[in-house]
Structure 1
C-alpha cells in the first residue's frame, strides 16, 4: 500500500473515531458562525453549477437522500488540482476545494475555499435520534484542523452549517494525524 493512501486511511479512522465518540454540541467553545461577514450559517441553493469554473478533478462522490424527499442527492468533492498522464494527483502548495450537493437542477456549495498545504474529506452519517443524515467536512492543513457538520433544514430550504471543531485559535502541542 502506498504511504499516502495509508496516511489518508489513518486520518479517516481518527476522524471517524473522533466524530463517533463525541456528542453533538451546539456551538462548542463559543465558536463564531462560519460566515463571519453575514453571520449566516444556512447554505442556500443556486441554479448555477459551481463545478464548471475551476474544478479539474472529482475526488469522491456519494448519493443519499439528504432531505427525505424520496430522491437521492449527489455529494461530490472536487479540487482544482489535476491528475498527470499516469492518473496521479499533482498537488500544489494549496488548491481550491469544492464540496457540492446536487439536488436535481439545484446546487449547494457546502465548502468552496482555497486550502493551503492541506486536504479536505467528507463523511456522511446518521446520528441517533436524528432523521436526516449529516455531512461532516474535515479540513486538515497540518497547522489547522476543522470539522463542520451540514444538515438539510427543511424550513430554511438549505443546509445548516454547524462548526464542531476548529483548532485555529488553539495552541497545539501535538497531533498524531499524519501529514501528506
Structure 2
C-alpha cells in the first residue's frame, strides 16, 4: 500500500519536494554553521574580548539564524501542503467510490437525523440573519461556500440558498476546514 501511495503521489509533487529538500539542506548547513561559529565566539569574544569580532559574530549568528528559521518554516509549509493535497486526493477518490456504489455523503443518516441537511439549514438561517454565536477570527467569505450550497440544494431543495451563494470562489485553503471532497461536481 505504501508503494502505491508513494508512486501515485510523488510524481505530481516533485518540484515541491525539491524545494523542501533544498530548505532542509539550508537548515542543516545553518545548524552546522552555528556550531562552527561557537568556536570563534568563545575564542574571540570570551578569551580575547575583541569588541569588533563580537559585533561581527553577533551579526553572523543573527543572519544564519534568520536563514535557518525561514528555511525551516518554508519546508514545513511545503510539506504540509503536499500532505493536505495527498489527503484531499484520497478523500475525493473515496467520495467517488462511495457515490458509485450509491452511498451519498449528504444522506448519511446518524440515528434518524440527516446531519448534513440539518447543518445547512442552520447555516442558511445564521447566514441570512447574521446570527453567529461566536466571533469569527478572520472575515468569512461566503463565495467559498458556493459549491457546498449548490450540492446541498441539489440534494435538499427545501434548504434555502443564501443570496451571497451566487458568487463563486473555488480555491479552498486547508485552514478553512472545508473537506476537499465537497468540491466534487455531480454529473
Relative to the length of structure 2, the TM-score reads 0.31
Identify, as 1 or 2, the structure richer in helix.
2
- Which structure is larger by alpha-carbon Rg, 1 or 2? 2
Identify, as 1 or 2, the structure richer in strand.
1
Relative to the length of structure 1, the TM-score reads 0.32
